[in-house]
Amino acid sequence: MTKQIALITGASRGLGRSMALHLAKRGVVIIGTYRSAAAEADTLRQEIEALGGKAAMIALDVSNSASFPAFAETVAETLTRFGRQQFDFLVNNAGHGLYALLTDTTEEQFDSLIDTHLRGPVFLTQKLLPLIADGGRILNVSSGFVRVTMAGYGLYAAAKAAIQTLTKFMAVELGARQIRVNTIAPGAIATDFGGGVVRDDANVNAYVAGTIALGRVGEPDDIGGAVAAILSDDMGWANGTTFDISGGQAI
Ligand code: NDP
């Protein structure tokens, strides 16, 4: 049977890494990207192969849309190695947080956030669409900050809100090809995100845990497992929607 293939941006660490492992455990072939953490990406490839799966890792800076045509060519070559011409799931996950009060925010910070969290997913998806199989799925990664406010995260949240809105329009435009487009909005998860503050600062960790109904901060596997489930055929009627996956944060 032909194996499904997922392309996950930002697979080298954090949420993307967990998504890759959960999907690989379900038999999905992984094409992961990394920006600078080549060694971590290679370790992930080895872990997937040790599970009996297949994976390839490709460098990508999602904030540099000029690089997307060459990236798409590399993806096409990689697919040939896996015996396919198209892949099934695109997860627009890569990104960074940024704490910047509106009074201090620079235009460079603004550009960096918009390029990474909006321009990148838009034009990467556009370039990759010919390589996505009809009936495939696109999953964008938003944030709980769209729903919950905290000083210093306004621009980041605005970029993540834009991707939620865009998801609905993408779903409408791609429906004719039976491509489902959804978004996840994770709550606070213990990763390197934001300098690792939720994971490493005991006070912040305890404070955030107190805002979550289940009484702890999220772990990468809480999101990796959810993504594998959302991309499964059982969730095929979900389209153009945002899944809040936060353990019940600030509800
Ligand atoms: P991590 O910092 O742990 O991992 C970020 C990943 O994205 C790495 O693989 C990194 O590559 C890659 N990356 C970062 N910037 C770029 C870029 N410009 N181009 C290409 N790749 C890039 O973060 P998380 O796993 O926590 O975050 C993943 C996504 O989830 C992000 O979009 C984030 O905004 C979102 N999110 C995170 C939450 C959290 O609490 N952790 C909550 C809600 C949303 P490399 O390793 O090579 O640097």
Give the pLDDT score at 218.
98
Probe residue for ligand 1, chosen from 13, 43, 113 as the CB with the greatest number of ligand atoms within 8 Å: 13
Q: Please state the atom number of ligand 1 nearest to the C-alpha of residue 186.
A: 43
Ligand 1 center–CA 177 separation, angstroms: 29
Pairing of strands 55-59, 132-141: unpaired
The span from the CA of 61 to the CA of 32, in Å, is: 12
Q: Is 156 a catalytic residue?
A: yes
For the Cβ of 191 lying below 6 angstroms from any atom of ligand 1, the answer is yes
Do 121 and 170 form a contact (C-beta atoms < 8 A)?
no
Q: Per-residue pLDDT averaged across 91-100, rounded?
A: 96
Ligand 1 center–CA 2 separation, angstroms: 30
Residue 122 makes CB contacts below 8 A (sequence gap 6+) with: 166
The predicted-structure confidence for 176-199, as pLDDT tens digits, reads as follows: 999 999 999 999 999 999 999 999
The predicted-structure confidence for 108-117, as pLDDT tens digits, reads as follows: 999 999 999 9
Ligand 1 center–CA 15 separation, angstroms: 7
Which own/partner contact pairs does 168-172 have at CB distance under 8 Å and 24+ positions apart?
Answer: 168/240, 170/125, 170/138, 170/240, 171/239, 171/240, 172/240
Q: Per-residue pLDDT averaged across 123-130, rounded?
A: 98
Going along the chain from its start, the domains and CATH numbers come out as 5-245 (3.40.50.720)
The predicted-structure confidence for 151-171, as pLDDT tens digits, reads as follows: 999 999 999 999 999 999 999
Q: Please state the atom number of ligand 1 nearest to the C-alpha of residue 160.
A: 34
For the Cβ of 10 lying below 6 angstroms from any atom of ligand 1, the answer is yes
For the Cβ of 34 lying below 6 angstroms from any atom of ligand 1, the answer is yes
Give the pLDDT score at 2.
86
The predicted-structure confidence for 28-61, as pLDDT tens digits, reads as follows: 999 999 999 999 999 999 999 999 999 999 999 9
CB hemisphere CA count around 85 (13 angstroms) = 2
Do 215 and 118 form a contact (C-beta atoms < 8 A)?
no
Q: Could you tell me the pTM of the whole model? A: 0.98
The span from the CA of 2 to the CA of 151, in Å, is: 48
Q: Per-residue pLDDT averaged across 14-39, rounded?
A: 98
Per-position b or e across 11-44, b if 16+ CB within 10 A of its CB: bbbbbbbbbbbbbbeeebbbbbbbbebeebbeeb
pLDDT level of residue 1 (50, 70, 90 thresholds): confident
Which is the catalytic residue, given 34, 153, 156, 207? Answer: 156
